[in-house]
Amino acid sequence: MLYVILVTSILTSLYEFKKFKEKQYVREIVFSSILLIIGVILIILRIANIKLPTPLNGIQILFQPISRLLTEMLS
């Protein structure tokens, strides 16, 4: 499964980057490369059953102090 994902991502990136290179879109090449690398890393970690934090954890860390403050003020 890992090889299928890697080969598919490489072939897709070569196809897309060829179009971008013809049109001289350097920023798009860099941005899509970064997104592709992040996506492939996340898929590999998911396949390896490595527990990934959800965005909800970060939201809770940010808003929990505000919630406590508002609860104390309103009670």
- How many domains does the chain divide into? 1
For residue 33 the two structure tokens come to 């490369």
For helices 2-22 and 26-47, give the axis angle rounded to 10 degrees: 170
pLDDT at 66 > cutoff 90: yes
Find where tokens 């290179």 sit: 21
Query: How high is the pLDDT of residue 17?
Result: 87
Q: Which domain holds residue 19?
A: 2-74
- Enter the DSSP assignment of 67: H
User: What pLDDT, in 10s, does the model give residues 10-59?
Assistant: 898 888 888 888 888 889 889 988 999 999 999 899 989 998 888 898 89
Q: Which helix (H) or strand (E) holds 24?
A: none
The beta strands (E) that lie in the chain are given as none
Query: How high is the pLDDT of residue 5?
Result: 85
